[in-house]
Amino acid sequence: MGASGPDIAIVGAGIGGLTLALALRARGIDAEIHEQAPELREVGAAVALSANATRLLARLGLDEQLTAAGAEPTELIHRHWKDGRRIAAHPVGASYRERFGGPYLGVHRAAFQRILGDAWGSERLHLGAAVSGVTEDPTGAGPTGGDGGRVRLEFADGRSARADLVVGADGVHSAVRRRVTDEDVTVYSGTSGFRGLVPAEAMPSLPDPGAIQFWMGPGAHVLHYPIDSAGTVNFLAVVEGPQRWSEDTWRAEAAPGELLAAFDGWHPAIIEMLSGAPQSARWGLFGQAPLRRWSRGRAVLVGDAAHAMLPHHGQGANQTVEDAVTLADCLAGARAAGGSEAYDVALRRYERLRRVRTRQVQRSSWVTSGLLHLPDGPAAERRDRKLATVPADFGWIHAHDAGRAAAAAVAS
């Protein structure tokens, strides 16, 4: 262990891994990132960043870049699938920033990845490093005390590396999670999605193109929002089925025209939107049963490796940012405390701070899925009346300050 703290190996250079590395650096702790891809790239079209993340990213000095790269929606609107009427609408923009202390931004995933990657640099980033195994290495004493030494990472190309702590930021198919737990935690939701990017001018029938909008209908919904100053709109079209997901990955090819067929009879703006981009692969939408443990020995998880969630609250990336900042604060507190037990305490504190929070968001997102797909009728009318209170009902998600929560826990 160096003077600046433990030797930390982060597996995965996505949103979680890069944010964690930057948060650690801001606290004077070094890390090495190991990424299996030969270059930095994000899968998926865009990401919605809410104040519970943008507030933390601003503290890392990234607010100007994110604001310049993204777009700030004007409103949150829920619409009827066929006639397009505004069922409920709530302002975003300045009033959202004033309430929650940070903006709500739509950003292309590639742009977000680039901002994080540029801020980190290439010196401690190892590309083409696919982890094939994680083991406790008893040959050297690490910072956490206990029953062994450091962590040994084995890579697919035969190389290896050692660290005092390894962080699995490697997503839903995490190699590090296999070290932490053997639980089979992914749960198929029975729904799947298609993604795309469409210029606003290709959708002349689209009302309020600058808003984040949910179009809700029988057995399906469409979420879309702007992601740049050019008016590019990102959409996620979610449909019921297939009943079982038999693919080995979360992506599967769909028959030509399958997406448009699922939305036959919907508002012309939705047809224009779904026709405005090539039909994507079908994405199986999976949630994750809560893990019983997030760490084991010197291995710990962040982001989708710990708590993959359905996208209906747009919180996957945001909860990952919260994880990263919380873990960085806990590790910085351990460094300040010193002693062989400090890092054990830090990992337990991190898990305690994040497990309840992420479980609540996971559960809420799962319930929301069915509500968005109700057919017209009494149940949909009850849901529509409830949408008037969305800001009050879900403000707890956006108001949470993971940095302050971690600081209070470390100080206690």
pLDDT per residue of the chain (412 residues) written in tens, 0 to 9: 444 567 999 999 999 999 999 999 999 999 999 999 998 876 667 999 999 999 999 999 999 999 999 999 999 999 999 999 999 999 999 999 999 999 999 999 999 999 999 999 999 999 999 999 999 876 554 444 444 468 999 999 999 999 999 999 998 889 999 999 988 778 889 999 999 999 999 999 999 999 999 999 999 999 999 999 999 999 999 999 999 998 778 889 999 999 999 999 999 999 999 999 999 999 999 888 888 899 999 999 999 999 988 888 889 999 999 999 999 999 999 988 887 688 999 999 999 999 999 999 988 888 888 899 999 999 999 999 999 999 999 999 999 999 999 999 998 8
Q: Give the H or E element holding residue 235.
A: strand 232-240
Q: What is the DSSP string of 131-192?
A: EEEEEEETTS--TT-SS--EEEEEETTS-EEEESEEEE---TT-TTHHHH-----EEEEEEE
* Tokens 């995965």, residue located: 12
pTM over 0.75: yes
d(CA 290, CA 313): 17
d(CA 103, CA 55): 8
What's the CA angle centered on 37, arms 166 and 167, to 5 degrees? 10
The DSSP secondary-structure symbol of 130 reads -
Q: Does a cis peptide bond (omega within 30 degrees of 0) precede residue 138?
A: no
Catalytic residue status for 188: no
Q: Where are the beta strands (DSSP E) in 263-304?
A: 282-288, 295-296, 299-301
Q: Which of 121, 115, 129, 124 is nearest to 42 (CA)?
A: 115
The predicted pLDDT at position 148 comes to: 45
Q: Give the H or E element holding residue 354.
A: helix 342-371
φ, ψ of residue 238 to 5 degrees: the values are -110, 130
List the catalytic residue out of 96, 104, 188, 225.
225
Q: Which of 15, 42, 20 is nearest to 167 (CA)?
A: 20
Residues 6+ apart with CB under 8 A from 245: 188, 192, 252, 284, 286
Contact 176, 301 (CB under 8 A): yes
d(CA 330, CA 79): 42
Helix, strand and coil content of the chain, in percent to the nearest 5, comes to: 40, 25, 35
The predicted pLDDT at position 263 comes to: 98
The predicted pLDDT at position 290 comes to: 85
Angle between helices 316-337 and 51-59 (to 10 degrees): 40
Contact 264, 270 (CB under 8 A): no
